[in-house]
Structure 1
Amino acid sequence: MQESNKQKDNWQRPLCVDLDGTLLKTDIFHESLIQYICSNLLNLFRFLFLLVRYRKKSIIKNIVAKESNISLRNIPVNKDVLNFCMSEFRSGRKVVIASGCSEYIVNRLYSKFDFCSEIYTSSDQLNLIGENKAHKLVELYGEKGFDYIGDSKSDLAVWDKAFKSYLVGQEKKFPKVQYEKVFEKPKSSLKTLFYTIRLNRLVKSLSVFAPIFLFNTPESLVKSNFLSLVIASLLLSLLSISLYLINDLFDLEFDRRHLLRRARPVAAGKISIAKTVISSLGLSLFSIASVFLYFKLDVALAFLIFFIVGFLYSYKLKYLAIVDIASKAFLNLSRFYIGCLILGLSLNFEVCLFILLFIASFSCLDTYRILAQNLAVNGTLDNIKNPYGLNDLFFLKSFSVSLLTFSMISLLNVQIVNKWSGAFLLILSLYLFKGILNGKMKSYPLYYIINQRILQSAVVGFVIFFIIKQYVIA
């Protein structure tokens, strides 16, 4: 009888659950802030002004939440915690949301979690975290009159007043607390890291070596600048990773609506917004600072322009028809041009025209591939923000073929280009176009080459042949 009364008391205690990092895999304030800044870059300065004007974080939370217009439809949810809360609710227990999020946001989420009978959030006067949350719950239910699920250091004060404590995270993080149950967060694996940094796309940074094979580059120039080319390739890779992370932040809402991209670590909540921002800023600042310290001013400025255009591409340019293709072509051309600057090679108009047309054809081809893949997976193009429609797919395919054709015609007028390289590029291009037109190319063109044994053999064979002919026999 005593055991039965004890069980009854358990169900009379409300189960209080936090949102950020607990019931949700992400931080709502960080998501709102990113959306707020992404909607207008000038909002970054307005946010800094809010930090100076208002000392209470709760006021800033509410302002950002109301003006960000964040989409909550596909927000990543912690399924283990969700299932536990729903199980407790079905057993007759009251489930309460107690979160430091803005009241405006939580009210919108209330319909998503209809099993919650009450919600308590931050207001302009009170930031409901840490001691404030503990006092509020004690005031409502009494000390030891509730159970609590949390995930962070600020929840220690709440667990101290709770009857039973539940943790979302690693138990060793707060070893002094006795937990009734631990919902472990999956650790970031090596696969997650590779997926985040787009390891397969970093091969584009090897474009700095392309001038060696495309032009009749003297052996003395190659030997004296080879280390600089290696360093430039590594720094370009780091800068590209920072741009990919920035792109993931800009595309959060659209990635979550995409059947394939929703698995990206940032969109899925496997990597926090704060870590993504810090990593992006750190990599970009380190790369640009290293370039200005190691290379000459012209190379450093080329790196800086590459980063600025890459940032603008993620922010706005990729949503403009044709401009998106030109931007991608410019970024790929920048990698090649940096290699030319390091080697001290000058490019005349005919060479620039050939390279620009050739690279633009692949940029157009990649745009076509992305849209065709999205259409095949989702059955529509409406779930991604892009400037093209179904009727434009044929145009993109035809336009890419036209660009490649004109680039090959312009190649005939270029005297300094190694003819073996030109012939190899033509054969390689035709093979890649065959792959995309047949629907066999599902990834970026260079990554497609890496996964094709015939192309692997052709590329390796050409490199060996070129080195022997250019530097051994000569």
Structure 2
Amino acid sequence: MPSSFEGVPFTVQPALVVDLDGTLIHTDMLHESALQLLREHPLQTLQIPGWLRRGKATLKERLAERTRLDPRTLPYNQPLIEWLKTQRAEGRTLVLCTASDQRIARQVADHLGIFDDVIASDGHDNLAGTRKAAALVERYGDRGFDYAGNSSTDLYVWRHARQAIVVDGSPKLADQAAAVTEVARVFPARPQGFNAWRRVLRMHQWMKNILLFVPLLAAHDLTNLHAWGLLAVAFASFSLCASSVYIANDLLDLESDRLHPRKRKRPFASGLVPAWKGVLLAPVLLGVSLTLAWQVGTPFLSWLLLYFSLTCVYSWRLKRLLLIDCLTLAMLYTLRIVAGAAAIGQSLSFWLLAFSIFLFLSLAFVKRYAELRLHRKGTGSLHGRGYHSDDAPIIQMMGIVAGYAAVLVLALYVNSDAIMAMYEHPKLVWGAVPVVLFWVSWVWMRAHRGEMHDDPVVFAIKDRTSLATGAIFALVLAMGTGVLGHMPW
């Protein structure tokens, strides 16, 4: 619409309408609301089919009423927001138009403070596709607005828009938009690729499942090829089961992860991978895991099911309980050793179980202490956990005590009658005690300096000093068994 100011002609730009889900934010609020309801009010999720029968608009309204949204934590599309700010500075009217419920849309708009108007679903009309297009044409006229969207359903709107802004869409979507209107700008999608899915599965965490092999090593039965084969399948089963739990945990802990300086970069928290893909992938991984476990044997399958159940309870509730969370983590680590023994029919000694529970309790306290170190002092509770920022010193003390208790158990084992039957040179095994004592002290010193990864087992696998300590520990045990003396050097 041509106009003028002091004799200088200019053109008033049409309203710039912006979609919310997948465009302004790298996520879908329908999925996020459903996951939040599952986490906070799991029984109410049984009402979702009834709400859906009344229409998607009703479903979205009910979810918005029963969940809380913190718009500060959402994964916003920052390049798009910066561009919108420049458009607003040039005098354009910005409108947030979304199929999400109006409660959610207004909270997001109020938080950003750049939108002049909000159009959203209201419990009766689901403002998506053709309905969104009709609402915009009624308000602004055909070709009387520009529209920023991200999916094929936005093609209905782009057919009536003056210009299209394609956000996080595929090249095919951009071509489809260009076929119905002029494409003014394209904001390319972030690539997912193997690295994103590796992080979804948390494949680096699979290294924890090496603990399954501990019973075989402790029994000095290294030449048992059948046992190695069973444990290899058990390792795959445990890893896939753990990945399914990690996915479920990430989906249920989105808000807490987004407040964490590192976890906010996880694929689901950052919106790099849509939440619905995780919802579909988790049960598939669990199904494959249980199939493999059945091949290993019923005892192993039983322990795997216990591990899965305990991790689910941990994700839903126990991780938010003071101290119970760390005790549960210690049990989950120890369960890997127990499951490994069940896979090969090996009995576990009291000494190994006692040593494991104390050592893993210490590592669980390291994990929580590292999180508290990252949490600013004096800012209250650690989100999603039962700890306060000033709990770090007592957590540190309890963790060090637990670690040294593990060393004490090892020292008592070395001095027991059981070691005489296991080692040809039992006195040499005493060398393992100062090695473990050093490593426990080393881990806590690194944690105290703020240099600890929030998962100490992953830290140990990557830390050169920890790897060297592990090699020395293995060498000491090999010398104690007399294996080195029988080698044909």
Q: TM-score, normalised by structure 1?
A: 0.89
Paired residue type of 2:248: I
CA contact under 8 A between 2:372 and 2:382: conserved in structure 1? no
2:207 matched to 1:203? Answer: yes
Q: State the one-letter code of the partner of 2:22.
A: G
Corresponding residue for 1:75? Answer: 74
**Residue type of the alignment partner of 1:369:** A
* Partner residue in 2 for 1:446: 457
Q: Displacement of 1:121 after TM fit? A: 0.8
Query: Could you give the per-residue CA deviations for residues 221-265 of structure 1, whole angstroms, max 9, x where no partner exists?
Result: x32110111121122222222222222222221222233332223
Does the 8 Å contact 2:73/2:259 carry over to 1?
yes
Separation (CA, whole Å) in 2 of partners of 1:422 and 1:309: 36
1:118 shift after superposition: 1.9
Matches of residues 392-471 of structure 1 in structure 2 within 5 Å? 392-411=391-410, 412-413=412-413, 415=418, 423-424=431-432, 427-438=435-446, 439-440=448-449, 441-443=451-453, 444-460=455-471, 462-463=473-474
Change (3 A) 1:324 1:15: same
Q: Which moved more, 1:63-72 or 1:229-238?
A: 229-238
The one of 217, 222, 242 aligned to 2:220: 217
CA displacement 1:106-163 (0-9 Å, x = unmatched) = 1222212333222111122211101111111111122112111110111111111111
Report % sequence identity: 25
Asked whether the equivalents of residues 192 and 265 of structure 1 are also in contact (C-alpha less than 8 Å), the reply is yes
Which residues of 2 match residues 179-258 of structure 1 at below 5 A? Answer: 179-213=183-217, 215-219=218-222, 222-258=224-260
Q: Which has the higher contact order (CA 8 A, sep 6+)?
A: 1
User: Which whole-Å CA distance do the structure 1 matches of 2:463 and 2:475 have between them?
Assistant: 18
The Cα of 1:191 is off from its aligned counterpart by 4.3
* Structure 1 range deviating more: 223-232 or 113-122: 113-122
What's the TM-score, normalizing by structure 2? 0.86
Mapped to 1, the partners of 2:312 and 2:20 lie a distance apart of: 31
Deviates more, 1:113-122 or 1:417-426: 417-426
| Residue aligned with 1:100, SS | strand
The 3-state SS of whatever aligns with 1:209 is helix
In structure 2, the CA distance between the partners of 1:301 and 1:232, relative to structure 1 (3 Å rule), is same
Q: Distance in 2 between matches of 1:118 and 1:8?
A: 27
User: In structure 2, what is the equivalent of residue 50 of structure 1?
Assistant: 51
Partner of 1:101: 100
Query: Judging changes above 3 Å, is the alpha-carbon distance between structure 1 residues 303 and 141 closer, same or farther for their aligned structure 2 residues?
Result: same
Unaligned runs of 5+ in 1: none
- Could you tell me whether the CA contact under 8 Å between 2:431 and 2:476 is conserved in 1? no
Once the two structures are overlaid, the 10-residue window that deviates more, 160-169 or 8-17, is: 8-17
1:33-432 alignment runs, 5 A limit? 33-51=34-52, 54-168=53-167, 169-178=169-178, 179-213=183-217, 215-219=218-222, 222-292=224-294, 294-375=295-376, 380=379, 382-411=381-410, 412-413=412-413, 415=418, 423-424=431-432, 427-432=435-440
Residue range with higher mean Cα deviation, 378-387 or 73-82: 378-387
CA distance in 2: counterparts of 1:288 and 1:120, whole angstroms = 47
Looking at structure 2, the residues matched to 270 and 204 of structure 1 have their Cα atoms a distance apart, in angstroms, of 26
Deviations, residues 5-63 of structure 1 (Å, cap 9, x unaligned): 9x989634211111111111211111111111110222232223433xx2411100000
Please give the alpha-carbon distance, in whole angstroms, between the structure 2 residues aligned to 1:390 and 1:60.
Answer: 38
Q: Is the 2:403–2:440 contact (alpha carbons within 8 Å) kept by the matching residues of 1?
A: no
Pair 4,383 (structure 1): closer, same or farther in 2 beyond 3 Å: farther
Contact 2:233 2:296 in 1 (8 A): no
Change (3 A) 1:360 1:425: farther
d(CA) in 1 for partners of 2:44, 2:433: 46
Q: Which amino acid aligns with 1:372?
A: R
Query: Aligned equivalents of 2:2 and 2:379: distance in 1?
Result: 61
Give the C-alpha shift of residue 348 in structure 1: 4.5
- The residue matched to 1:162 in structure 2 has which SS? coil
Give the letter for the 1:266 counterpart.
Answer: F
Structure 1 residues 9 and 306: alpha-carbon distance in aligned structure 2, compared to 1, 3 A threshold: farther
Contact map agreement 1:254 1:383 (CA 8 A) in 2: no
In 2: Cα distance, 1:67 partner to 1:8 partner? 51
Is the CA contact (8 Å cut-off) linking 1:31 and 1:70 kept in structure 2? no
Q: Distance in 1 between matches of 2:434 and 2:199?
A: 31
Q: CA RMSD in A?
A: 3.0
Q: Secondary structure at the match of 1:149?
A: strand
* 1:145–1:162 contact (8 Å) kept in structure 2: yes
1:429 CA displacement: 4.4
AA of the residue aligned to 2:212: V
Distance 1:10-1:312 versus aligned 2 partners, 3 A rule? farther
Identify if the C-alpha distance between structure 1 residues 83 and 390 changes in structure 2 by more than 3 Å, giving closer, same or farther: closer
CA contact (8 A) 1:255 1:262 kept: yes
Secondary structure of the residue aligned to 1:185 is: coil
Tell whether the 8 Å contact from 2:381 to 2:389 is kept in structure 1 after alignment.
no
The runs of 5 or more residues in structure 2 that have no matched partner are none
1:71 & 1:402 partners in 2: Cα distance? 39
Measure, in 2, the Cα distance between the counterparts of 1:113 and 1:225: 59
Q: Is the 8 A contact 1:12 1:93 kept in 2?
A: yes
Cα 1:373/1:112, change in 2 over 3 Å: closer
Aligned residues: 466
Distance in 2 between residues matched to 1:363 and 1:113, nearest whole Å? 39
Letter in 1 for 2:220: T
